[in-house]
Structure 1
C-alpha cells in the first residue's frame, strides 16, 4: 500500500483556479465551460496545467497565450483625435458631412478608437494639418480669449457699443504685441528662425491689428447713423442736413453739417492712421545752399554746367535749367517724399512744419492753400461756446480762429495743373494730385494696397466735399429765390462755374475692385524674387477689410467657409496663417452678431428655422464651430465652453459632447469642465447624454444580437462587435482587468453621475453597457461598471411599479411626443439612425433618449410610461448585482477551496497541519453554504425573465428580449453547473451535498423555473448530465444499497 501523501496547504496563486473548473474540458465531465473556459475556443494546453495555469502562463509571457488572455489588452485607447491629427493619420481624407461647418468632428472618419493606429504624440497648443505639418496655437490665442472673457456680459444694452469698441481695442493691442515680438525675431534671429515665415507672420499681425481698428471705427459710425435714422423715423422731421445760420458761414461749417453721415471720411481717417511711419529724412537748413554757392562763384568757374541764373522757387521750371549739387535731389525726392508721406498719414501740419524747418516757406505756403476757410466767429462756434454774455470764455480753447483758403476751388485747379507738369518729381506731382482730389499722377508712387485705397478714397472724399458744398450753396440760392426781400439771402454766394472741376465719382465697390486689379497688375510686374511678388499681392486680411468697408460681411463669411471646407477636406493645403485667420473670423462673428444689441445688429448670420427643423448651420455659425473645434484640437480645454456658448443649442450639445468624449482626465477635472460649461450657460444634461452616446458609438461595444449599430453623429455607422454563438462564447474571468477600451467605455458614465438630474440616464446606460458586455462574455466588466455609479443612483420613486394604466400616458407624454418623434435614436442593434445634435429628449426625470434605445416612440400609443421603464431598469440593475455577488462569492469559494484542493488529492493530515486544516474545513463549510444559497437563489429567481422591456416600442422590445434571452442562455447553465460542482466537491465536509448535487437535475427539469430551455439553447445539457452522472457514481460508491432509490 502506497504511503499517504501528507496534506500541504496550497498557496493561493496562479496554480489555484479562480474559475468554476480546474481541469481541461476533455479531462472530466465536470470540466464544462465556465468563467473563461470553453471547449470550442480553448486551444491545446501543455499537459498537467489547469485553466489558471494557462492564464497565469500567458500573463507571465511563456511564449504562448490563450485567446482570452490577450483580449483584455488588445485594444489600446488612442489619444483624442482632432480634425488635424485625424487627417494626418488617415490614409485619405474623408469629405465633411453636410452642415458640419466644413470641419469634421474629432472622430469623423474613424471606424472605432480600437481600429485607429497609434497616433504620435502631439503637445498641447499644437495642431496638425492633413499633411502632418504642425501649427502652433500660441499665447496670442489665449490673450484673445482673456479679452473676450473680460468684456463678456459686462455691459448693459445702452453701453454695449463702448464695450465692443474696448474689446476691439483690446484685440488690436494683442496683435500689436505679437507684431512687436515677430519683428524682434526678425531683428535678432537665431538659427531656428524661418525669416520668410516670420515676416509673413509679422505682416499678418499688422494687418489684423489694422482690421480691428477698422471694425471699431465702422461700428461707431454705423451704430450712430442707425440711431439718427431711428430718431428721425420716430419724429415728424425729415432727416435732412440743417441749414447754416446765415449764408456767410465758412466751408468748414457747411461741411460739418453735411459730411457727418458719410463713411468716406471714416475710411480715409482709418487708412491714414494705420499708415506705417516714414523712413527718417534729414531736415536740411538753408534754402538751396549748393545752388546759392554756385551762383556766387559762377564768374570764377567758366565752362561749368549750366545752372539756373535766378534763386526763386520757380526758376528751374521757368528757365528749364537744373539746380546745383544735390539741391534738386533733396527737393524733388527727399523733401517731396517726406511731404507726401506726411499727407499719407493725414498729418498736413507735420509737412508744413518740415517745409518751414528746411527753409522752404514757399512750399509751406502751397500746402497751407489746401486748408479750407474757417471763421469761428462767423460760423457761430466761438459765440456758442462763450454764451450770449461772453461768460465761460477760455483763451486757450475758445480763441477766435480765422484762417484757411477762401478760394479753395481755385487752389485745387492750380494743383491739378501742377500735378500734370512732367518736369516735377513724382512725389511732388503725387502731392499736388492728392490735394486736388485727382488720382492720375498719385498712383505712380503707390506701393501697397493701402496706398492705392487711400489715393482713391481721398479723391472720393474731395468729390463728396465739393458735392456737399454745391448742395449747401444751392440751398442758400433756393432760399434767396424764395425770399428776395431778404438782404442776407440776396447776397448769398453761389458756386463758381468758372472753376468747375472733374470729380472722381467712383463708388466704394468700384474703388475696391480697381485696387484689387492694381495690386494684381503690380504683382505680375514685379519679379518673383524673395520679398517681391509676395509682398505686393492682396492679402486675405485686405479682402476682409474690403468686405467690412462695403458691408459685405455675409459674403466674407461664405467665402471663408468655402476655403475652410477645402482645407479640412484636404483639397487645399493649410497655410501657416490659416489658424490665425480662423481666429479672426470667429471673433469678427462674435462682435458683429453676438455682442451688438439686437436693435444695432449689423450682421446676424444665423440659420433660419423651418417647419421641418433648423436649417444647416449658417456660415457664421460654422466658423464659430470650426474655431471651437480648433480649441478642442489644441487642448485649450478651459476655452471651449467660452466659444461653444455662442453656437445654437443643438450645435452646442454636439460640439461640447464631442469634446468631452475625448477628455482623458481624472473625474475632478472632468466635472470641472462641466462646471465651466454651466457657467457659460450651456445645457449640461443633454451634453452629458450625448457624450456617452458618442462614446458608445465610437467604441466596439458588442451588440445584443450581432446586428448593426446606430448611425453615428457624423453620418457614418459604427458596427457593433460581432457576437459568436452562445455555445462558442468564452466567459472571461472575474480577475481579468478591463482593457483600455473597456475602461474608456466605463468612464463615460462619469459624465452622467455629475448631477442627480442625469442619474436616470446613468442607470439606463450602465444597464446597456453591462448587457452588451455580458453578451460578449465580459463578466469582468460588471463590477467596475456598477462601481462607477453613485450609491444613491436609484430614486425611490422608481421602485414602485405603476398599477394604473393611465400612467402610460404621463404628463410628459403629451408635451414631449413631438420632440420624441424627432429626437429618438435607433437602437444600436437596428439600422435606424438619428442626428446626434439634439442630445436626446429630456423627460420628467431628466433621462433622455439614448443610443441604448431606452426611450423611444411606440408605433401605436406614443411615448410609453417613464415610471414603468425606470422600474424595469431598477429590476435589471438589481439582477446584474445579484449575478455579480453570486459569482464573486463563487470566486471566493474557489480561492479558499483550492488551498487544499479536492479530497482525492489531500492525503493524510499530519500533526502540524491538523489545526490549519480544521480551520480551513470550518471556513469552507461556511463559504459553501453561503455560495450555495446565492447560486440557488439566482437560479430560482427567474433571473432576467420578468418583463424588463416595459416602456419600449414593440420593435425595440423584441430586440431587448433577444438580448436578455442570450444572457440567460449564457449564464444560467454556468450558475447551475457551478452550484452542482460546489455540492459535489464539498461532499467530504458536507456529506448531504452529494445527494444535493444529484438532485440539481430536478431543478433544471422543473417547469417552474424552465432552466432546461437555457441548457438546450446553449447545448450544455450533456455537460449537466455528465456532471450529475459522476455525482451519482460517487453516491453509489458511498451508499450502494440506497443510492439508486434516492436518486
Structure 2
C-alpha cells in the first residue's frame, strides 16, 4: 500500500506544514494527554544578554533614587527584546516573553500560595497571550507546501485529518486555538477515587432483604437510574456528580486519556468505552513493518449517538456536557462554562468537530458504513468572527484586568493587528485605563509596547499614529521611572521628530556628570537616533526656561549683577546646557554660536555674573566648554563663523573690562589711611597699573562693539539676524553707558596720580558723539545721558579750576 505524506498530529503540537513527515502511516491520537507546560518552554533558559548595549552600559548613569520593579521587569523585557533583534528567527520573541511571564507568575504564586492575587492573574494572562501569539505566528509564517494531489483510494480518518490541516488554513488555526485553550485551562481538583461501583447504593440494597429480592431495585446498571427513575444513595450521587465534573474538566483540557483513566479507577468502565470512540480510525506500523489499525472506524455513527445523548434532558448537566464535547454540540457544553476561555473553547471545539466530520463525509468512507447512511446532527456552525461577539454578550465573569487581555487574544486569533492597536490605544491613550492604577497601567502599557514592536518586526499592519502614541507613552514612563539606559532603545522606534523631542526632554533634566551624559548621547547614536539634533533640541528646551529679552523690563531699570556674585543651581544648569553640544565635533561651531546667544540673553537681564561664568568656562582648559572656543580656523573663511567668533571675542573683552573695573574698585577702596608710608607707595603703584590696564581694555571694548554692530547692520539680515541685532542693541544700551560712566569715575578719581586722566575723563564726550559710532543713542535709550553730562561737568569744573586760562585747548583737543 502506498505511503502518504501527512501531518503528525499531537494534541498539543502546532500543526504547521513544516511538521509533515514521510514516515509511517500511524498518526497518534489527536486526544492524547497534552504535554506539560514546561515541555513547551526552551530548556536552555533565558537568552544571553551580555552583548546587549543595554546590559553593557554602566548603570551609574541611573540616579540613586531610581524606581525598581520586582526582578527589574522593565529592564529584562528591554534586554529580551533587544536580544531578539539580532536573531534570524524573530518568532522566538514571544517565547522569551512567555518564559519570563511564567517565571514571574510562579514567583507571585509562591508567596503564600496566592494563586488569586491580582499580580498573579495579570502575569498569567500575559503569559497566555504570548503563548497564543507564538503558536499562531509560527503557523502563519511557515510556508505552506502543496499537498500530494494523488490520493489513495483508501484513506483513514487520521490521514484525512492531516490532509485537512495541511490544506485548510482556517481549520488549522482553529485547531491551534483549541490547543491553546486546552493548555491555559487552570488546574482543578479531581474526584476522589472509589473503585467499587455505586458501593453505597449496592450495600443498602444488599442489607435490606426486601430490596435485595425485589426486581424494583435491580437498577445498578449504567442506565438503571434513568430507566427506573430510582435515586442512588446520596453519597453515590455526590460521588458521580464529582466524577462527571472531573471527566468534563479533563475533556475541557483535551486530556481524554486522563478522563478514561479516572473512569476506570472509579469503576465506570462503560464511560471509558463511550469516550474511546473519539479516537480517529488510523493505521499503525510496528517495528516489523506490520500494519495494525486503531481507533473508531464508525466514528460518525458514534458521534451522532453522543449528540443524541447530549440532548437527553433527564441527564445530569455535566453528563450532557460530556456528550456535548464528544459530539461537538456547544449548546450542551455552554451551561457548565464559567469563563471566557471555557466559552470560546466550546465554540471552537464544536467548529473543529463539525468541519472535520464534513471533510470526512466528502471523501470515500471506509468499509464500515456506506455514504448513504443518514445521521441526524443538527449543530449550527458559527464562524470565528461571530464567536467572540456571542461570547462577550453572554459573559458574566467581569474582571477588568483580564478583559483587556481577552481583547488582545481575540484580535490575535482573528489576525486583525490594526484593530488590536486601535483597541490598545483606546485603553491606554484615551485614558480608559487609569494612570492612578499603577499596577495595571504599567503592566498593560509594557505589554502593548512590546506587542506593537513584535508586530512591526513581522511587518504586519499597525496604524502608525496609534502605535507611536503607545510607544511614546511607554518611553515617557521610562523617563518618569528614571530607567535611563533603556530610553534610547524605545525612542529609536518612534518617528524622527518624536524621537528627537522625547529624548531631548529626557536629557534636559539629567544633571549627572559630563562623562555619564556623554554615555547617554553615545547610547542614542548606537540606536540610530539623531544625536546632533537631540543635543540641539536639549539645549533649546533648557534655553527656553530663560525669559525672553522683551520681558526683562526697561533698560534703565536693569541692575548689573557683579561678576563675583554666585550663580544659582538653575543658572548653572542653563550654562551646562551648552555641554550637550560639545560631544560631537560637528556641533562645536554651533555650540559657540549658541553660547553667544546665551551670553546675550543673560547680559540683557543684567546677569553679567552668569555670562562671565560662560566666558570663563570656555577659557578654562579643564572645562568641557573649552573645546568650542577654538572654533575659528584658518581653513574656514565662512563669514558666519567669523561673525560668531568675533561676537565671542567681544563678550570676552566686555567681561574682561568689567572684571578689571571690579579689581580697580577693590584696589581703590583699599587706599591706606596714612599718606606717607610704604603701604601708600605700594598702593600708588598698584592703582596706576590697574588704571592703565583698565584704560587699555576700555578702548578695546568700545572699538569691538562699534565695529561688530556696524558690520552686522550693513549686511542683508535674516529673521535670526534681526533678533540678534535687537538683543545686541539692548546689551549695548545697558553696558556701554555703564562702562563709560564707570570709566569716567576711574579716570576722574585718579586725576591726581595720573594727571592726563582728567582730560581723558572730559574727552569721553568726544567718544560718545563720534560720527562713526554715535554712542549717544545708547545713553538716551538707557536714560543715562543726564548722568554722563553731570560727570563731564565735574571734569570740566576741575579742569577750569586747575587751568582756567588754557581751557580752550582742552575743549578743542583732537
Flag whether TM exceeds 0.5 (same fold).
yes
Q: Is residue 643 of structure 2 the alignment partner of residue 880 of structure 1?
A: no
Q: What 5-or-longer segments of structure 2 have no aligned partner?
A: 1-62, 619-623
Choose which of 444, 461, 466 in structure 2 pairs with 1:603. 461
Choose which of 231, 247, 252 in structure 2 pairs with 1:339. 247
Choose which of 433, 436, 440 in structure 2 pairs with 1:577. 440
Deviations 1:947-991 (A, max 9, x none): 347997544433332222222222111222222211122234323
* Separation in 1, partners of 2:249, 2:265: 17
Asked if structure 2 preserves the Cα contact closer than 8 Å seen for 1:307 and 1:323, the reply is no
Choose which of 330, 337, 341 in structure 2 pairs with 1:446. 337
Choose which of 751, 772, 791 in structure 1 pairs with 2:580. 751
Deviations 1:993-1031 (A, max 9, x none): 233222222222322442233223322222122222223
Deviations 1:737-777 (A, max 9, x none): 22343223222212111111211221121111111211221
1:322–1:762: structure 2 CA closer, same or farther, 3 Å change rule? same
1:775–1:799: structure 2 CA closer, same or farther, 3 Å change rule? farther
Choose which of 757, 771, 788 in structure 2 pairs with 1:993. 757
* Separation in 2, partners of 1:790, 1:740: 18
User: Could you tell me which residue of structure 1 aligns to residue 728 of structure 2?
Assistant: 964
Asked if structure 1 preserves the Cα contact closer than 8 Å seen for 2:592 and 2:648, the reply is yes
User: Could you tell me which residue of structure 2 aligns to residue 145 of structure 1?
Assistant: 78
Q: Secondary structure at the match of 1:640?
A: helix
Cα shift at 1:907? 4.0
Cα shift at 1:507? 0.9
User: Could you tell me which residue of structure 2 aligns to residue 916 of structure 1?
Assistant: 679
1:496–1:450: structure 2 CA closer, same or farther, 3 Å change rule? farther
User: Could you tell me which residue of structure 1 aligns to residue 198 of structure 2?
Assistant: 288
Which TM-score applies when normalising by structure 2?
Answer: 0.84
1:776–1:293: structure 2 CA closer, same or farther, 3 Å change rule? same
Cα shift at 1:411? 0.9
User: Could you tell me which residue of structure 2 aligns to residue 502 of structure 1?
Assistant: 378
Asked if structure 1 preserves the Cα contact closer than 8 Å seen for 2:571 and 2:610, the reply is yes
Choose which of 303, 320, 324 in structure 2 pairs with 1:429. 320
* Separation in 2, partners of 1:1021, 1:535: 79
Q: Is residue 690 of structure 2 the alignment partner of residue 927 of structure 1?
A: yes
When structure 1 is superposed on structure 2, of 281-290 and 871-880 the one drifting more is 281-290
Choose which of 542, 549, 562 in structure 2 pairs with 1:733. 562
1:772–1:800: structure 2 CA closer, same or farther, 3 Å change rule? farther
Q: Is residue 289 of structure 2 the alignment partner of residue 402 of structure 1?
A: no
Q: Secondary structure at the match of 2:185?
A: coil
* Separation in 2, partners of 1:270, 1:629: 34
Which TM-score applies when normalising by structure 1?
Answer: 0.66
1:503–1:953: structure 2 CA closer, same or farther, 3 Å change rule? farther
User: Could you tell me which residue of structure 2 aligns to residue 88 of structure 1?
Assistant: none
1:324–1:940: structure 2 CA closer, same or farther, 3 Å change rule? closer
Asked if structure 1 preserves the Cα contact closer than 8 Å seen for 2:125 and 2:402, the reply is no
* Separation in 2, partners of 1:436, 1:568: 42
Cα shift at 1:322? 2.1
* Separation in 1, partners of 2:518, 2:185: 49
User: Could you tell me which residue of structure 1 aligns to residue 355 of structure 2?
Assistant: 464
Q: Is residue 291 of structure 2 the alignment partner of residue 373 of structure 1?
A: no
Q: What 5-or-longer segments of structure 1 have no aligned partner?
A: 1-120, 127-135, 189-194, 232-238, 383-392, 477-490, 524-533, 607-617, 707-721, 803-866, 901-905
Choose which of 609, 613, 625 in structure 2 pairs with 1:790. 625
* Separation in 1, partners of 2:344, 2:592: 65
1:400–1:139: structure 2 CA closer, same or farther, 3 Å change rule? farther
**TM-align CA RMSD:** 3.1
Asked if structure 2 preserves the Cα contact closer than 8 Å seen for 1:652 and 1:682, the reply is yes
Cα shift at 1:686? 0.9
User: Could you tell me which residue of structure 2 aligns to residue 268 of structure 1?
Assistant: 178
Q: Is residue 134 of structure 2 the alignment partner of residue 182 of structure 1?
A: no
Asked if structure 1 preserves the Cα contact closer than 8 Å seen for 2:421 and 2:466, the reply is yes
Cα shift at 1:505? 1.4
Q: Secondary structure at the match of 1:424?
A: coil
1:471–1:244: structure 2 CA closer, same or farther, 3 Å change rule? farther
Deviations 1:24-50 (A, max 9, x none): xxxxxxxxxxxxxxxxxxxxxxxxxxx
Asked if structure 1 preserves the Cα contact closer than 8 Å seen for 2:417 and 2:460, the reply is no
User: Could you tell me which residue of structure 1 aligns to residue 703 of structure 2?
Assistant: 940
* Separation in 2, partners of 1:417, 1:255: 24
User: Could you tell me which residue of structure 2 aligns to residue 560 of structure 1?
Assistant: 424
Deviations 1:187-222 (A, max 9, x none): 47xxxxxx9xx8333222211111011110110111
Alignment of 1:110-121 (within 5 A): none
User: Could you tell me which residue of structure 2 aligns to residue 544 of structure 1?
Assistant: 408
1:638–1:794: structure 2 CA closer, same or farther, 3 Å change rule? same
User: Could you tell me which residue of structure 1 aligns to residue 548 of structure 2?
Assistant: 702
User: Could you tell me which residue of structure 2 aligns to residue 311 of structure 1?
Assistant: 220
Residues matched between the structures, number: 738
Asked if structure 2 preserves the Cα contact closer than 8 Å seen for 1:250 and 1:374, the reply is yes
Cα shift at 1:353? 1.7
Deviations 1:235-279 (A, max 9, x none): xxxx5x434642222100111011233211010000001111112
Asked if structure 2 preserves the Cα contact closer than 8 Å seen for 1:730 and 1:777, the reply is yes
1:784–1:952: structure 2 CA closer, same or farther, 3 Å change rule? farther
* Separation in 1, partners of 2:632, 2:592: 14
Q: Is residue 478 of structure 2 the alignment partner of residue 631 of structure 1?
A: yes
Cα shift at 1:449? 0.4
User: Could you tell me which residue of structure 2 aligns to residue 89 of structure 1?
Assistant: none
Q: Is residue 256 of structure 2 the alignment partner of residue 323 of structure 1?
A: no
* Separation in 1, partners of 2:692, 2:674: 25
Q: Secondary structure at the match of 1:791?
A: helix
Q: Is residue 608 of structure 2 the alignment partner of residue 779 of structure 1?
A: yes
Q: Is residue 162 of structure 2 the alignment partner of residue 256 of structure 1?
A: yes
Tell me: higher relative CO, structure 1 or 2? Use CA pairs within 8 A at least 6 residues apart.
1
Alignment of 1:642-1041 (within 5 A): 642-697=489-544, 699-703=545-549, 706=550, 722-786=551-615, 787=617, 790-794=625-629, 867-900=638-671, 907-909=673-675, 914-941=677-704, 942=706, 944-948=708-712, 953-1039=717-803
Asked if structure 2 preserves the Cα contact closer than 8 Å seen for 1:592 and 1:602, the reply is yes
